[in-house]
Amino acid sequence: MILLIDNYDSFSYNLYQLIGEVMKDIQVYRNDKITVEEIKDLAPEAIVLSPGPGKPENAGICIDVVKEFHDKIPIVGVCLGHQAICAAFGGNISHAKRLMHGKSSKISLHYDFIFKGLPSEISVGRYHSLSLIEDTLPDCLEIISKAKDDGEIMAVKHKEFNVYGLQFHPESILTPDGLTIIENFAEKVERGIL
């Protein structure tokens, strides 16, 4: 079972549908309607932190989920979920270099299993006004993608555990390769690949 934490965002069910194409058993809980203890009882195979409005510190239990489960369960965060992952490890989230709501950007990809089968540059949909401040990148995280147009960090991964943050939206129509990224994450979960 995959646990999707919904951060009260209209994109959450687009993300649910995309994940559902490769992982059939998905349970959705709002970020303030489930506890860490209840998540332990559910014993999910992976956790997805959805996009949402606001700042990571206001995203219900997302930061606590990352702190509790990062070394036990694969986690992927999208937009606000990505920011929650970065904040959980000590990164600072602040105003992005420019507002990117419904905008397309080319991003460069560093080789990682989650980008398997993709070229070194893809187009993605961006919907954010906040981002990780690069010089506050926690030592445990590695940048695996940046925007070509403004240099913003577009994806990070934990250096030791299966934890990924995607600032862009893989579920957006502006991200044609989003399904491949989710398929690769699903394969990592199913095969236990670090």
pLDDT at 194: 65
pLDDT at 97: 85
**Cβ neighbours of 105 (radius 10 Å):** 20
Return the active site residues: 79, 169, 171
pLDDT at 98: 85
Helices (H), the chain: 12-20, 36-42, 62-69, 80-88, 178-191
pLDDT at 1: 96
**Cβ neighbours of 33 (radius 10 Å):** 12
CATH 2.60.40.10: does it fit domain 2-191?
Answer: no
pTM equals 0.96
Dump strand ranges (E) for the chain. Answer: 2-6, 26-30, 46-49, 75-78, 93-109, 121-132, 141-147, 153-158, 163-166
pLDDT at 155: 99
Cα–Cα dist 173/169, whole Å: 9
Ranges of the chain whose pLDDT falls below 70:
194
